[in-house]
Structure 1
Amino acid sequence: MIRIPNAASLAFALAVSGSSVFVLIYGFLGLSGFGALTASYLGLTLISVVVFGSQDFRFSTLDVPLLVLIACAGVSFAKNPFRADLRELVLLALTASAYFAGRFLAKENLGIVRTTSFWTTAAIVCAGTIVTFPYLVSESLHGTFGRPFVLGFDSATTAFSFSLGIFVIALLSSEKNWPLWIRNASLALIAISTAVFAASMVRFSLLAIMACIALGALFSRRQRRFALSLLVIFVASIALGLISRSNNANLYLRYMLEETGDERFSTVGIYPPSHEAKRNAGATTPSCEKVNTRNSIAIRKQLMADAFDLIPRAGLFGSGFMSFGELGCFEGMSPHNDLAQVFVEFGWIGGIAFSLLLAVIPLSFLKSAGCDDDMLFLLLLSAFMIMLSMIYGQIARDLPLFLVFGFAVSVLSRNDGSAAARKYLKLPHRTRTETALPIEKSNHFRSW
């Protein structure tokens, strides 16, 4: 193995922005997807992280929940009927491998990872904004909802917004390292791209980015003023994007208010259903047939109702991988929530283990994030990935979440080891300026 931090950092950045990269690659090739290329891309990025970021693997107690989750998945596979196809199995294997790949990234290279992620996602967001704009302004290139079919993908702008979130987090946690012109150019890119994506009716991921900016202002005094300024720019850009497409924004607002039960906001009859709700033979929820299949909030509400109905019956090891799509309301649809999917498909033990991962990792960075920008980067990145997994999550396709978790545990285990060594040897703590690495001046894959 060869330790090349810049190469490992680039592989990390390309892996966590895989969904955006796939939109650009497949869109320009005129393809809807190509399994072998997707698997090769993800596999090569993970191998590059391991090879070029190589450090000695040090087992940590924080690895236990992930190992328990893998064990529960194995038992679930053994005791339940086989439902998944080869594609989903490969994706699940790559997702689990991503955690261990992240464990090979060294804590000392956190600054390089952050800087590389900044430049990589800046390029992706810029490209995504440029290719989206023509589709946004042309009435013939977007659907009834106003969501543009960029390069043939109706979820392209959602994927680009994932990279925007990583870019915002990287900037927020390293703002003081950049010259004024880079900060201003970054803010301009954020403002323009946010307005474009908001006008494309992207919602949940933009809300997650806003939440991360607010967390940055809350936990970091050093970045608080900049975070608050960034939050104002971000909110104003969203408002501008929605105002520019007010008719479509009004429709989505009606969809949201429709779920309050007030008939004044009913959207039934405004547009005919894009497709009839296809109820599974094994579905037991009476409300399934009444779901507005155009309303993503209503669909998610029904999926969570299905999850709450299925979890008590899941047992210790669940009903099997991909079983939710047969037992829930909609055929072949996951709950769009990793935690709910794990509880249903891998059981109560796996769900509890995954819950520990989701809670312990970000909480472990709260104290250090206030005075260390590298720790702030990992805190916000972990929080962002968790929020995406709660809204868009499919456990087999959340490679970025597990890669970030692996990196976070690698950093935390090094912190634990250093503290233990200092305690044993009775060595004084080093100051941050003595351990910090200089940063060079130059320096969320859901579709198969």
Structure 2
Amino acid sequence: MTEFEMTISERVPSRPKISGGDTRTAMYGVVLASLLSANAIFVLIYSAAGVTGNSILTGGFFVVCEVCLLSIAYRRDIEMSSADWFFAAFLVSIIGSLIINGDTAPTKNWVILAVSLASYVCCRFVRSEHLACLKTTYLWIASPIVAIGTVITAYFLILQWNDPHGKPLVFGFDAATNFLGAFGFLLIALVTTPLTPRRRVVLTALLFLPVAIFAAAMVRFYFVAIVVALLLAAVLSSGRQRVYIAIIIATVLAGSTVGLLARFDTAKVLMTYATQETEISTIQKTVASTQQKHNQTEMVEKIVLPSCNLDLDLNNSVAIRKALLRDAFYIIPSAGLFGLGLDSFLTLSCIKGTEVHNTILQSAIEFGWLGALSLLMLIGVAGYRLLPLSKKDDGARFVFCSLAYVTIVSMAHGRVSHDLLLFALIGLGVGIYERDTQKQPAALVSS
């Protein structure tokens, strides 16, 4: 076998030891795995402490993780790629928006955005040989967290079985979503790891109950993202691995069906919400008015957004999402090159205190057409470059499918300043591709 044909998995041990000799690799795996399951970890910590959150602790955790990643993975041989230039363009759009619109958000939100963007830089220095350790470590860290989260979610689900809201509140948190988010990464790690037939049977059997519980908890869109990520993993895999992934997908679909049927009355109400039309409120029509600062002429002009003319059922999350999308598409044509400023949508929409819930649309509104285009290109280039390598290597496949998973989630739950995982996985994918091509002759890379 020539070096041309060697994959990452063949150049490094398939079962790296997370101890002794390679402490740096072990630390790398632990830090990245902790980032992927951070939301679920914080739910457990804050619930045990009896508090709703602590911004200093949360921010400090992410900063420490990023510093550790940068110190472990830093290398001098990094080369600027097209993805890096698109990331730079995205930064320019943010800076341009700040200069033109001024400080439109609290300092805390600017800091959160900076920490999220820094995750791209920290993960950009990744070494491909750390990928196997990342998956192994994540399985060890996430498995007990997901198990505990499943039990807790089931307990509160039973207590709130007939709650019209659908999703159970776990210690006051919408924790089922966070636990399912970590569970999604866990599934992707499992389907991108070669396993013996016996372990496959055992793991498949163990997955059914958590899937049913989270489906009964009415966490909906995450299941769409999980199934799409698993389908991508199946397409990129070969042989018996595809059969194994197909069984996992069937288990997810069966568990989801059982969970929804178990709370059929609640599920029927939510399906009714999905088809319910939003009525126009004549009362709101007469008073609806909101102001925005024009980013070019500094003139204040009156704008009445679609949400201001709608009589919304605040229990209908689907109707709220539709109204938010209407507002977003109404604003984007006038957002200009650099947008209206960070968090400006919060002050424009009549659905107060709620972002667009779509990372790309929010970027277009708040950082302008340049921001949305550069972010789209950044995601697209990172995924496109990583795709060929994902067909050959399990570790690259895990990152590619995880990036697809997070990107899909960001289309319904995204908020740019909080999308740390999205930027981290983009940086991870860009770094893996660059590192792999540096080890191959230029003729092969160009082909």
1-side partners of 2:227 and 2:288: how far apart? 36
Letter in 1 for 2:327: D
Alignment of 1:376-395 (within 5 A): 376-395=397-416
| Alignment partner of 1:27 is 2:47 | yes
Look up the match of 1:77: 98
1:241 to 248, 256, 259: 259
1-side partners of 2:376 and 2:185: how far apart? 23
Number of aligned positions between the proteins: 405
The 8 Å contact of residues 209 and 384 in structure 1, kept in 2 or not, is answered as yes
Look up the match of 2:356: 335
Tell me, what secondary structure is at the counterpart of 1:105? coil
Look up the match of 2:15: none
| 1:281 Cα offset (Å) | 2.6
Tell me, what secondary structure is at the counterpart of 1:380? helix
| Alignment partner of 1:118 is 2:136 | no
1:349 to 363, 367, 370: 370
The 8 Å contact of residues 306 and 327 in structure 2, kept in 1 or not, is answered as no
1-side partners of 2:365 and 2:384: how far apart? 25
Look up the match of 1:270: none
The worse-fitting range, judged by mean Cα deviation, of 189-198 and 227-236 is 189-198
| Alignment partner of 1:173 is 2:182 | no
The 8 Å contact of residues 279 and 331 in structure 1, kept in 2 or not, is answered as no
The 8 Å contact of residues 288 and 304 in structure 2, kept in 1 or not, is answered as no
2-side partners of 1:142 and 1:43: how far apart? 41
Look up the match of 2:432: 411
Per the normalisation by structure 1, the TM-score is 0.85
2:216 to 199, 205, 211: 199
**Alpha carbons of structure 1 residues 105 and 247: separation in structure 2 relative to 1, 3 Å:** same
| Alignment partner of 1:254 is 2:272 | yes
| 1:59 Cα offset (Å) | 2.7
**Alpha carbons of structure 1 residues 279 and 384: separation in structure 2 relative to 1, 3 Å:** farther
1-side partners of 2:105 and 2:225: how far apart? 30
Tell me, what secondary structure is at the counterpart of 2:439? helix
**Alpha carbons of structure 1 residues 286 and 169: separation in structure 2 relative to 1, 3 Å:** closer
| Alignment partner of 1:213 is 2:234 | no
1-side partners of 2:288 and 2:133: how far apart? 49
Letter in 2 for 1:135: F
Tell me, what secondary structure is at the counterpart of 2:167? coil
Look up the match of 2:175: 156
1-side partners of 2:23 and 2:125: how far apart? 10
Alignment of 1:56-135 (within 5 A): 56=76, 58-61=78-81, 62-135=83-156
| 1:179 Cα offset (Å) | 4.3
| 1:197 Cα offset (Å) | 0.6
| 1:116 Cα offset (Å) | 1.4
Q: Deviations over 1:36-95 (max 9, x none)?
A: 111111111111222233433513322111111011101111111322112211210110
Letter in 2 for 1:53: A
Letter in 2 for 1:165: G
2-side partners of 1:393 and 1:65: how far apart? 20
Per the normalisation by structure 2, the TM-score is 0.85
| 1:6 Cα offset (Å) | 1.1
2:203 to 173, 177, 186: 186
Letter in 1 for 2:256: I
2-side partners of 1:168 and 1:144: how far apart? 30
**Alpha carbons of structure 1 residues 279 and 55: separation in structure 2 relative to 1, 3 Å:** farther
2-side partners of 1:134 and 1:68: how far apart? 47
Look up the match of 2:290: 281
| 1:390 Cα offset (Å) | 0.7
The 8 Å contact of residues 60 and 413 in structure 1, kept in 2 or not, is answered as no
**Alpha carbons of structure 1 residues 194 and 249: separation in structure 2 relative to 1, 3 Å:** same
2:36 to 16, 28, 52: 16
The 8 Å contact of residues 27 and 151 in structure 1, kept in 2 or not, is answered as yes
| 1:146 Cα offset (Å) | 3.1
| 1:20 Cα offset (Å) | 1.1
| Alignment partner of 1:49 is 2:69 | yes
The 8 Å contact of residues 120 and 425 in structure 2, kept in 1 or not, is answered as yes
The 8 Å contact of residues 53 and 106 in structure 1, kept in 2 or not, is answered as yes
**Alpha carbons of structure 1 residues 329 and 189: separation in structure 2 relative to 1, 3 Å:** farther
The worse-fitting range, judged by mean Cα deviation, of 183-192 and 232-241 is 183-192
| 1:180 Cα offset (Å) | 4.8
Look up the match of 2:246: 228
The 8 Å contact of residues 368 and 375 in structure 1, kept in 2 or not, is answered as yes
The 8 Å contact of residues 142 and 149 in structure 1, kept in 2 or not, is answered as no
| 1:219 Cα offset (Å) | 2.7
The 8 Å contact of residues 54 and 106 in structure 1, kept in 2 or not, is answered as no
Look up the match of 1:423: 442
Q: Deviations over 1:129-166 (max 9, x none)?
A: 01111111124x8742232111221x210111110110
Structure 2 runs not aligned, ≥5 long: 1-21, 280-286, 292-302
Tell me, what secondary structure is at the counterpart of 2:57? helix
**Alpha carbons of structure 1 residues 57 and 143: separation in structure 2 relative to 1, 3 Å:** farther
